[in-house]
Structure formats: C-alpha cells, structure tokens
Structure 1
Amino acid sequence: MDGLFKLTAGCFSRNRKENIESAHVYGVPEQNCCSSYEDLIKLHNTEFDALIVLTPTNQHYAAISSCLAHGVTVISEKSLVTSLKEAKKLAELQAKSNSYLCVTYNYTGYPMTRELRALVQQGALGEVQQVMLEMPQEGFIRLDTNGNPVIPQKWRLSDSTVPTVSLDLGAHLQMFIEFLTGQDVQEVIATTNSYGNFTEIDDSVSCIARYHSGMTCHFWYTKAALGYRNG
C-alpha cells in the first residue's frame, strides 16, 4: 500500500502447482518460489529483507522461531502464537537474536480507527470509562443450500490452549482497546460456549475485562451468530 515493500520470494502453498501459480500471480520469479519456509529462509540477505508469516496461527511458532534463529526480520499476521508459553519462548529467542519481530492487526490501518484514536488521545470524548465491543460472525452455524453445515478450513476446527475463536476474533477486540486507549488489561473473566455446528470447539465468548485506569470493557465475539457475514 505504501510502496515501500516489494514481494520478491515466497512459499505460497504446499501444493507445488498452486505454489508456482501463485508466484506467477504475484510476480515472483519461479526460482524464488520455495517449497517450505526453511528453503525461504535460505534466501535471506540475498533476495529479501523481511519474511511475512501468514500461515494458520498454530503453525506460527515453528516458522517464527526458525526465522529468529537465523536472524531474519519477521512480520507476523495476528495472532502471534497459540499460548503464553510459546510467546515467552519467542520473546527469549528475539532477545538473543539481532532480528526484529512485529505483529500486524489490519484494523489499525483503517482511517476511521485512526481518527477515533486521535479523538480519544485529545480528550475530545472525555474520560473513557466503559467500552462495549462485539464481533459476531456466522461461519460455524451456516448451512448450504442443501441444509448441510458449511465446513471451514480444518485448522479452524481445532482448539489449543487458547480457543481458536479468541485467536481469530478476540485478538482484534483487545487490539482495539489497546490501540485506542493505550491501556493494558489487568483482569478478565469470561464464559465460552459452543452453539454452532461443530461442538468439539468453542465458538462463542462473552467476557468482561478491567484495565489499569478502572475502565471496564465488555466483549462478545462468536462464529455462531446467524445473519452476520464476515465483511
């Protein structure tokens, strides 16, 4: 968007045909189309300056830790990893390396989000005491035209230490609060439920969070709210 980056190499798919086709679409030379992130890392310093990790969150730790071990600058899609344990390990690796690690949250780039943050920082809205945020989607409760559940990607149907719905949706809401107010969360209480077509995972979360100023936030995010399309 800002014209400061150019895509020069990549690993776009485990499927060789799709990988090469994607490289052609993005204008990446075929010799720089790698079959794995390990091969991609080998091109560091010769073909690229930073590596972007856009895989499912449960695959982030292996790729990012390998990048840090080789001194590669990493730009990771949110969420960074799936647990506090993995996050602490990456922090240790990053501290020992000469590389840079950051996480992107796409909604921070929206002009409306930037304008709202400016209003909060200027005090135009007064003291922020209570916030209510929601992010409803219907992906896990939808049916197709034959009345069968619409099956999402396989990785979305597996929970780890932190439920995938929290890594997918909840991370956005917490990002909004921190980005807009600059405050860190102090305490959280939450309930999780499974209301959709896939009972083996959590798909709905309601929680209350308290921040250091005493501000309280109410969050609701779900993949089982019929009628709410993503985007």
Structure 2
Amino acid sequence: MNKRAQGRTRIGKKNFKKRWFSLTSREFSYHKQKDKEPMFRIPIKNILAVEKLDENAFNKNNMFQVIYGEKPLYIQANNCVELNEWIEVLSRISRRNQRRLSKYHSSAFISGAWLCCKASSESAEGCHMCTVNVPADVALDIDGDRECERIYSLFSRSMPKLQKMEEACGSIAVYQGPQEHSEYHFTIDDSVETFKTIQQIKAMVEKLNEPHEKYKKYCTSAKYGS
C-alpha cells in the first residue's frame, strides 16, 4: 500500500510512497521493504479510530486514515477490497481501547482548514460520527471457515522450515547435545520435545487439508454477487 508523507503539501507524487505494512496484536507498523526494520510504529492501544478518507482530500481513491493522537496516518489501499479489510481488522483489534473517538474528520486539514467542515482549528472536534464504535462487550461474528483457512495457509507455507527443523532434530539425536545449525538459522535445546511438537503440527495440517480443499472448491465455484 501507499502512505502519505507527514507534513507534505497536498499535491505531489513524492507525497505518497509505497510501504510494506504489518500488524501484530501489539502494533501497526510500516517498513520500506518486507523483512526490514519498521520505519514507523503505532501501538494498538493508541489507535483512536480507523475510517475512510474522502477522495477529494488528496485526489486519490481507496484512502483510509488511522487516527492515533498525533497527525492521522493516511494510507491508500490497492483496491476497495483491501481497503475494507484493513479498516475492519484494525477497528476490531483496537475496539477495546478506552479513548476511541466517537467523531472524526472525513477529509484532511489543508491550508488552515478541514476540507470536510471548514473548521479552522486542526484540533477541532470531528464532524462525522465514527462508523465503527464497537463496545468492548459485544461478541464479534467470526467466519470459522475463513479463519481455519488462514491457519492452514500459515502452517503450509512454513512446512519447508518445519521439515528442516525435523532434520535438525535427527542430526542432534545422532551427534547428541544442543547444536546451533548455521544452515537452518536456529538452535534446538530439546530435540525430543521439538520433534514431538513438529509431528503434532504436521498431523494438524494434514487434518486441515480436507477442509482446505473444500473451501478452495467453494471459493472457485462461488459467483460474484451470490
């Protein structure tokens, strides 16, 4: 996705730069490239609102904003699906924050005024009601099939690494004692327990394979608008 540089003028290609975004249970961050150190972090507990941004703010579509106390972080998603998914997941993970806003500005503060309500103070109260204001005690609907598919995808992508760990456990059993494997880039202290854990993970992935195939078949056969 693209993020807008802080403190820039309204127009200009250099104002928006492509960044790699990541989300954990503790923070939302962006990086210059994948696997690089974060350039900027927002603790989840500091997120006050996550809302769409009017297209006229920067003459760009699929924009949303993460409001966290300082200047909002403006982000442009690649498409409307990605836009809605990021808004949903960020809103859900921050829904228990005590200081969540009830109102927000739907556009940007440009040339001394908010484009949405013309208020001249940058600290003026928002002019639109937040669309996501979920109370902490509300149970959230979870798509079990989709979550199961995410878990399967996570582990299936990691199978080559698990296979290397399994081989490392066998090597340790032969040569005895914990060893650091420069080839594998990890250290195994207890090869027996590690081997058992890997076997359990592989068995779980095998069980998920059938639901995965059904889900994939369903997604392939589903028609737009059905």
TM-score, normalised with respect to structure 1: 0.22
Q: Looking at CA atoms only, which structure, 1 or 2, has the larger radius of gyration?
A: 2
- Scaled by the length of structure 2, what TM-score is found? 0.22
Which structure is richer in relative contact order (CA contacts within 8 A, separation 6 or more)? 1
